[in-house]
Structure 1
C-alpha cells in the first residue's frame, strides 16, 4: 500500500496511515493477493462493526437485512453466486483504521471492510474479502477476481475511463492538535498564522500547506513547517508542544486520536480540509469495473444504510463521522484529469 509522495501518487488510492497489526506470517510474505477471513456478525442478519479492531473502533453490532428491491438490481452472475468478492489493497502491512489484520491475527478489520460487509448484507450476499497489494488490486478487478474494491479509493476522472464508482465517504485531510491547546482549524488558511505545523515531505498535504505558507508570507504573516523522519518523532514533537499541529490524512488522525485518549497528552481532530482542495470535495468510493452494472446497486445499498442509520453508526464506531456524505452517488464528479 503506497505512501503518497506526490499529488499523483496520493490519488493512487489509500492515504498513508499508521499500520497497527502484525500480519500472520503467510500474509506478510504474500506479495500478490491473499484470502482473509471475513466475519459478517454474530448471527444471521447482523454485522459487527469494529470486531477485532484492537481498540481502534467501538465494537457495534448492527441489524442489516437483505433489501429485495436492491438485490434485484445486481448482475445475474453475482446474484446467482450468492457472494460479493471484495478487494482490499492492504498488503503487506495494512493501514489503520482503514484495513488491517485484527487482534485475532486472521480477520481483516477496519472501516472499509466493515462497510463492505454492511453493503453485502443489504444485497443479500456473503462478503468474501481478498487482500492485494495496491497495484494488484486493480489487476484483480480487471481480471474478474474482484467484484468491487472497498479500500479508500479516490474518485477521479482518470479512473472513470476504466471503473465506475459509488461514493461513500469524504476524502479529507485533518489537523491533529493537543486537546489542551484548544486550537481549531476553521477552514481558512489565515487560521494558521503564527503556527508551527508538521507535514510529511512530498505529500499532497505538504503541497497545500506550502501554498498557504506563501499566501501568509505575502501578507506579512508566518507559518512554520516542520519535518520529521517518522510518525513517532512527529507525535513526540506534538505531545511536547514543539509543534502546534500535524497535517495528515484524516483517517490517520482519527486513529491516532483514539490511541492518545488515555495518555497524558490526548489529541483531537482540530479540523479537516478536502484532499481535492478548496474547489472540490474529494470523495472515496466503492470501485468496480466499468459497465459491470454494480455501481447503482452499491449506491442504493449505501443509501439504504444512510437512511436507516447504520451508516452513521459505522462512521461513529471508527471515529470518522467528519467524513460523512449525505448521499451515495453513482460516478459523481471526481478529481479532474489535470490533477489525477
Structure 2
C-alpha cells in the first residue's frame, strides 16, 4: 500500500507519524495473497472485475462527450501582467495518470483522459487558451512546476499547509474518501464514528484515512462502543477480494477510485463519504508557482464554470457530483503539518 499520507482526494501528502495501536483499536494485518492463494485470487477477480472500462465511462481518446466552456474575460483580466505562459497561447498543465475516473490513459494507451483533463480543458477554454496536457509521474510534479516546465498542475492535488509554502492553490473539488460495501450488505450509511463501531474496515496503511479512522475508533471506545477493526492488504485486488468474500465489511479509499470500481464491477455500493480533512473540509486544487500571478485567474475561471453550469456537467459526466464545491477559493486552509 502507499507509504505516504493520502491528502485531499487521495493525493499523496507526505509521511505520517507512526501510530501506537493499543487497547482502543483492534488492528488486523493480513498477509499478501502469495503463491498458495494466487490462483484463487486470479480466478475470483475474473468473476468480479471484468477487463475493460466501466460502461458509463468513456475512455476513448476522442472524448466526444467532453464539456467545453466559453471565454471568461474577467478571468483573463485577472492574469498578472508579469506572468509568462510556458508556450504563448497555450495552457500547459501537468497531470499524473493514476487511474480512472480522474486521469488515466485512454484505450489508445497514449491519450490522457478523465475528470481532471476535462476540467483542465474547460479552464483553458475560459482563459482563451489551447490546452497542452503533459503526463508526468506523481513524484515529479513539484520540481517540474517550480522549474517552470508547466504553468499549472491539475492532478488531484490536495491543499496542505506545507505545500502552500511553495505553491499557490485554486480549489476545484472536495477531497473525499468513500465508504463502500458489498451491494448485498445490510450497512445502510456511515456518517460518523458510531456508524463504524465494530466494523471490519479495509484501509491503506500510512494513509490519511487510516489516521482518521484511528481517531474514530478512539471516539467509539470512549463512548462505550466496540473499536473499529482495521484491515490492511498489499493491493486493490486483494482488498476487493476480501470485501467480496465477506472477510471485511467496508473498504475506504479515495472516493473517485471507488466510484469507478463500483460501476465497473457492479458489486459494491457507496454508503458514505469522508472528508480528507475530517472534521474539517479538505479540498483539491490547481497548483501554480508561489506568487506567479496565475492563481487568482484560475480561481475566477473556476467560479465562472461553477456559475454557468459547466463545472457541474463535467463532474456529472464522470460521476463525481458528490465532490462539487460551492465556490473556488485561492489558498484556503489546508491539511495541517503532522
**TM-score normalised by L of structure 2:** 0.79
**TM-score normalised by L of structure 1:** 0.78
> 1:12 and 1:318, CA in 2 relative to 1: closer, same or farther beyond 3 A?
closer
Q: Are 1:185 and 1:272, in contact at CA under 8 Å, matched by a contact in 2?
A: no
Mapped partners of 2:190, 2:10: distance in 1: 26
* Pairing 1:1-340 to 2, within 5 Å after superposition: 4-7=2-5, 10=7, 14=11, 52=59, 60-76=65-81, 77-78=84-85, 81-90=88-97, 94-218=98-222, 219-261=224-266, 266-278=267-279, 280-336=280-336, 338-339=337-338
Return the offset for 1:50.
Answer: 6.3
Deviations 1:291-323 (A, max 9, x none): 111111111111111111111111111121111
Mapped partners of 1:303, 1:79: distance in 2: 24
Aligned length: 292
Helix, strand or coil: the match of 1:150? strand
Q: Are 2:7 and 2:276, in contact at CA under 8 Å, matched by a contact in 1?
A: no
Mapped partners of 2:259, 2:57: distance in 1: 14
Mapped partners of 2:211, 2:164: distance in 1: 25
Q: Are 1:66 and 1:123, in contact at CA under 8 Å, matched by a contact in 2?
A: yes
Mapped partners of 2:9, 2:176: distance in 1: 15
Return the offset for 1:5.
Answer: 2.2
> 1:332 and 1:136, CA in 2 relative to 1: closer, same or farther beyond 3 A?
same
CA RMSD in angstroms, aligned pairs only: 2.6
Q: Which runs of 4+ in 1 moved over 4 A?
A: 9-13
In structure 1, runs of 5+ residues without a counterpart are: 17-48
Helix, strand or coil: the match of 1:60? coil
> 1:281 and 1:53, CA in 2 relative to 1: closer, same or farther beyond 3 A?
farther
Mapped partners of 2:64, 2:226: distance in 1: 45
> 1:227 and 1:186, CA in 2 relative to 1: closer, same or farther beyond 3 A?
closer
Helix, strand or coil: the match of 2:156? coil
Helix, strand or coil: the match of 2:333? coil
